Chain A
């Protein structure tokens, strides 16, 4: 039997690879009549899927493009779904084997959560444009399926929040309904806690629209033509954490911003507002020396830099830094995006190098041309994180896990009063399973920390026991 299964060119693996549904069906029907027949097929299939899956997720080429990465995962899933339904009569045990194999190899790549979120981001930003509603649902359900395999669901949540924030703030979502639908699916899967902050983000967007209406109703006449300022008020805590260093806004803007601030605080006492100048966008109407007119869509930082050139022809990096008070690393990236990118170089830099030096001189590129009237220079699109960013996110996730582990330990000990070491580890792991796989070493560390802070103590007689200290 095994010989049949493992035959090099016509064995089970070949049949799986080539989608030989009929042959597979025959094999299934034959083998089910023999003891251990089906389990043999299942085991070979399982190890094949695990091996090929492992190859897929650890392949550096495939990992370069997150969207492609996820698409190949979905393809693989679809392939085996089809085989199981057409050839293996939808056998539940085969379904389970497929699921456990996927769970195994998806978690071999620590970037899977990030990539799945980026895949969703791509779909919700443009991929689902024009797609029928039912097809959208199908794709989202498939994404949910992959999500279920993730051991580190909290990592996914962190990235999802970041990407969602960018989508919402840049107004770049294809379908509001699709967004909501996915949130509902996540809520069904993981509970209210998982999605409450995400829902908070949507609420903030809606509330901000209402606030805007109120603002212009109150000041409309005074402000004259058109809405030049659109404000989104974000509740801290629902949105991904940001530093709140506010840069210097151009005078044309600051008066208007102040008006908004006093309007808002007038209707909402006891709140504090801080402008998140690293998250905004602006549309500028620019006339260049060559007579060309363009509408530039830029980030707030880029706007602050460009507006300086209304009053100066040449500015050094230092002068720009002083005037705008944009943090150096952000400012350098900002200037690079304005001066060093082909097709978007609205500024000229001397010297022409890519690196930004303290004494570099900037001026408007009067020779700037573009095929499009509206030129997009802002960089608010979600991207695969760079190595240092990834480390930072990973660190934040680890930090967030510590209090969750402690809370689980305290909950369990509070109800059990006395519990031995192995059981605590098992129960804590179980409680946290839906968010992440808790590391036994980390759990031990948290127990020791709780002992140090007199929440728990060791039993005097049996060292394996811990006691809850009321």
Chain B
């Protein structure tokens, strides 16, 4: 931004010569920014239920239908991640603002377009691990809860890793449903699944090294796969 010394309107004589333009720019962008914020807030209130400061599941459903995305679509989870939403099924005003501001989306149309880029952003390896961990935490509903039941984990695996690692996810889901050692999965095991998909050759499993301190459930999964192969 070129600095000029031209002035408009009353200025502080003791201020530096180019401060006025910066102020103007700030003021201008500030005005634009506050307009954007206003629209974001308005958008929020159009989905939140009267009198509450949250968008509830119903509101989210209607948001989804406006976005033309199914509410079980992974992109909604990605949106929640962008917002760093804490409670599954709800968006607070702060979370909403955080997400939409980062996406530079203050209308439904812009939000819809932003989802496409968001997906690319999330799938970048540097972000994906964080998103993957977030997905687990997002499903913890009770206060002291540390694990998620098998059925939900299977759904989550499919949602989050299914498009990228179809074969592994299918096999893993099959195994999780028939094994009886574990009724719930914790964060450590969850992260292990992602590492497994990323690092272990599938389906030959040739580089699976039991000395690598994989979680026991993965050791058992590999044993099961190998025994199936015969």
Chain A interfacial positions (CB closer than 8 Å to B): 420-422, 441, 444-445, 448, 451-452, 458, 463-464, 466
Contacts and interface: CB of A to CB of B under 8 A. Distances in A.
B216 A445 contact: yes
A45 to B, nearest CB: 36
Interface string B125-162: 00000000000000000000011000000000000000
Contacts of B14: none
B213 A458 contact: yes
Given A445-B216, A451-B186, 16 more contacts: A421-B212, A421-B213, A441-B216, A441-B219, A448-B186, A448-B188, A448-B215, A452-B146, A452-B186, A452-B187, A458-B188, A458-B213, A463-B212, A464-B212, A464-B213, A466-B213
28 contacts: A421-B211, A421-B213, A422-B211, A441-B216, A441-B219, A444-B215, A444-B216, A444-B219, A445-B216, A448-B186, A448-B188, A448-B189, A448-B215, A448-B216, A451-B186, A451-B188, A452-B146, A452-B147, A452-B186, A452-B187, A452-B188, A458-B213, A463-B195, A463-B212, A463-B213, A464-B211, A464-B213, A466-B213
Contacts of A422: 211
Interface string B199-219: 000000000000111011001
A451 B188 CA distance: 8
Contacts of B211: 421-422, 464
A464 B211 CA distance: 8
Contacts of A464: 211-213
Interface string B21-49: 00000000000000000000000000000
Interface residues on B, range: 10 to 19
Contacts of B213: 420-421, 458, 463-464, 466
Nearest to A445: B216
Contacts of B216: 441, 444-445, 448
A458 B219 CA distance: 17
Contacts of B215: 444, 448
3 shortest A-B CB distances, which residue pairs? A421-B213, A444-B216, A464-B213
Contacts of A466: 213
A464 B213 CA distance: 5
A421 B219 CA distance: 14
Interface of B: 146-147, 186-189, 195, 211-213, 215-216, 219
Contacts of B186: 448, 451-452
Chain B contact surface mostly? helix
A451 B186 CA distance: 10
B180 to A, nearest CB: 14
Chain A contact surface mostly? helix
Nearest to A422: B211
Contacts of B212: 421, 463-464
Nearest to A466: B213
Contacts of A441: 216, 219
Contacts of A444: 215-216, 219
Nearest to B213: A421
Residue from B147, B186, B216 with most neighbouring chain A CB atoms (10 Å): B216
A60 to B, nearest CB: 30
Nearest to A442: B216
B142 to A, nearest CB: 15
Contacts of B146: 452
A444 B195 CA distance: 18
Contacts of B195: 463
Contacts of A448: 186, 188-189, 215-216
Nearest to A424: B213
B200 to A, nearest CB: 12
B210 to A, nearest CB: 9
Nearest to B220: A441
A469 to B, nearest CB: 13
A458 B189 CA distance: 12
Contacts of A451: 186, 188
A422 B187 CA distance: 22
Contacts of A452: 146-147, 186-188
A417 to B, nearest CB: 17
Contacts of B219: 441, 444
A445 B188 CA distance: 12
Contacts of A421: 211-213
A420 B219 CA distance: 17
A448 B192 CA distance: 12
A422 B146 CA distance: 27
Nearest to B209: A464
B57 to A, nearest CB: 29
Residue from B189, B211, B213, B216 with most neighbouring chain A CB atoms (10 Å): B213
B185 to A, nearest CB: 10
Nearest to B187: A452
A416 to B, nearest CB: 15
Nearest to A456: B188
A174 B134 CA distance: 68
B207 to A, nearest CB: 14
A420 B212 CA distance: 9
A422 B210 CA distance: 10
A401 B117 CA distance: 53
B175 to A, nearest CB: 17
Nearest to B214: A463
A178 to B, nearest CB: 46
Residue from B146, B195, B215 with most neighbouring chain A CB atoms (10 Å): B215
A399 B211 CA distance: 26
A441 B222 CA distance: 14
A36 B136 CA distance: 63
A448 B191 CA distance: 13
Contacts of B188: 448, 451-452, 458
